[in-house]
A and B are shown apart, each in its own frame.
Chain A
Amino acid sequence: MSEEVEETRTSEEQQEMEDKVISPEKSEEAKLKARYPNLGAKPGGSEFLRKRLQKGQKYFDSGDYNMAKAKMKNKQLPSAPTEKTEITGGHIPTPQDLPQRKTSIVASKLAG
């Protein structure tokens, strides 16, 4: 039985080697699958697309968002310890992890 398995592997390897010669794309695919063995076969699947549709930072709810904003305001005092140590577990993104949100209108440097 082990002999059969070995034969199958050899023919697969053979196909892979042929693909490398034929298509750089296929060889890149093999590289990717080697790094991420759990990668699904179809990248264009609905899960992938749905993630794309949902682009944008998500908060658990608006209360969470406003609490995080308030925390950030309070933390602007110099005595505040580093906020990062207080974020434990759940990785809910907070505004301080995000690019600075403007509070006043800053002119574009293109107009400078």
Chain B
Amino acid sequence: RMCPGGDMQWCFSQVKGAIDDDVAEADIISTVEFNHTGELLATGDKGGRVVIFQQEIENKNQPQFRSEYNVYSTFQSHEPEFDYLKSLEIEEKINKIRWLPQKNAAQFLLSTNDKTIKLWKISERDKRPEGYNLKEEDGRYKDPNTITSLRVPVLKPMDLMVEASPRRVFANAHTYHINSVSVNSDNETYLSADDLRINLWHLEITDRSFNIVDIKPANMEELTEVITAAEFHPHQCNTFVYSSSKGTIRLCDMRVSALCDKHSKLFEEPEDPSNRSFFSEIISSISDVKFSHNGRYMMTRDYLSVKIWDLNMENRPVETYQVHEYLRSKLCSLYENDCIFDKFECCWNGNDSVVMTGSYNNFFRMFDRGHRRDVTLEASRENSKPMQVLKPRKVCTGGKRKKDEISVDSLDFNKKILHTAWHPQDNIIAVATTNNLYIFQDKVN
């Protein structure tokens, strides 16, 4: 069912969340992630809650209506904490969710806030035992003296119950704020990265982790860059990458040494020094790095662009896509209102032919690598009639504004799409606005 990527027509499918404009801080969506089959879609928010949606079995009688995602489970993953040693609040905001590949009937995911990673088990219960010897059906204990015979309890069907339970808590390993977790292809280990360090964990072991990258300088006055994202290679269990605030990506091989401070490859695009400005370093900071599914490329997102890198070529990206180049002449105000520090994520479609990332005004962008086409779409309640086809949007950069175009100065910079996710196989995407989750599907021809 993989779509080659040409001529996609995106239609509104569903929107989750409250309609009212008054957004509570806790409802701000902070991460979105499909599981490996795409059947489950998880969101995390600033209030530390996780909501998991499940795709319903497709209605075979009406093939034009792809199946819908409905709430499957919701739980409080993290609570606000206070670090007494440093007198610092620890936010409960979920920074990342990563699913483990399914091994048995239960589903597992890792969720993390700034300091603590948790492994959650989500399991279904659709049977319950009835006919206990020592308990009544309502749970009260029987007087053992009244029991005259024994029976074997039987399993009877019950309404489906989905339970989430924390199976592991991986705590106290990060001095700085965790920005990434990534499950290894070996399905036994995972990495967690904060601003200055990356740790390797075993999923079964919570009281120990190995530090594999440490860029903290002996003298903090010498600090020049921080780690912004990290990810394991999808197939090579010894390989991972991490990006920096200076726009570089380092690829490390864990077979080389226990501490991977020395990279195996350094990916950096040379910069023309005469073009350098006050903003250069800030806008070059990489906010997200993602390997392609085939493991041959990686994609990075900096403030204004998306870059595709061939893992065999370190000196420059093979493709660069401008997300919102018109913002280059607005950097002064974007610095003043802090928008220049917004961390946009990016994602690949299932066959690595199209990449997607968010922008402002609830716009999001898709770049079709093969057909060299790009499109700007909008997630809004105005375009949310069932199966309504999304119309491409256009930002007018100067001169006469055509009808249906929007001028740069009219863009709403409070409406940011930072988190997007693409179904691993189908053309179904999840796009998070501040507090709503939109699901769009490609129109089935």
One of B60-68, B76-84, B367-375 contacting the partner: B76-84
B220 shortest CB reach to chain A, Å? 6
CA gap between A44 and B225 in the complex, in Å: 8
B210 at the A interface (CB under 8 A): no
Known: A25-B331, A49-B223, A55-B177. A110 touches B279 (CB 8 A): no
CB within 8 A of B224: which of A44, A102, A109? A44
- How far is A44 from B276 in the complex, measured between Cα atoms in Å? 13
The interface of chain A, by Cβ under 8 A from chain B, is 23-29, 31-33, 35, 39, 41, 43-44, 46, 49-50, 52-53, 55-62, 64-65, 99, 101-102, 105-112
Residues of A within 8 A of B437 (CB): 110
Chain B interface, DSSP helix/strand/loop, else mixed: mixed
| Extra 5 A-B pairs, beta carbons < 8 Å, given A25-B329, A25-B331, A58-B87 | A50-B220, A59-B87, A62-B87, A110-B29, A112-B17
Are A24 and B329 in contact, with the CB atoms below 8 A?
A: yes
With contacts A46-B220, A105-B76, A108-B45 taken as known, whether A52 is within 8 angstroms of B281 at the C-beta atoms is no
Contact A111:B74 (CB < 8 A) given known A49-B223, A102-B26: yes
A29: contacting residue among B26, B226, B245, B277, CB under 8 A = B277
What per-residue 1/0 map shows which CB atoms of B46-69 lie under 8 Å from chain A? 010101000000000000000000
Interface pick from B88-96, B97-105, B420-428: B88-96
Q: A24-B328, A53-B196 are in contact. Are A58 and B279 (CB under 8 A)?
A: no
Our pick among A32, A44, A55, A101 for the contact of B80 (Cβ within 8 Å) is A101
B280 within 8 A of A: yes
A74 to B332, CA, bound (A): 44
Residue of A nearest to B284 (CB): A44
Task: Chain A residues near B84: list those with CB within 8 A.
Answer: 62
Cβ contact within 8 Å between A108 and B51 = yes
B25 pairs with A99, CB closer than 8 A: yes
User: B31 within 8 Å of A by Cβ?
Assistant: no
Residue B222 is within 8 A (CB to CB) of chain A in the complex? yes
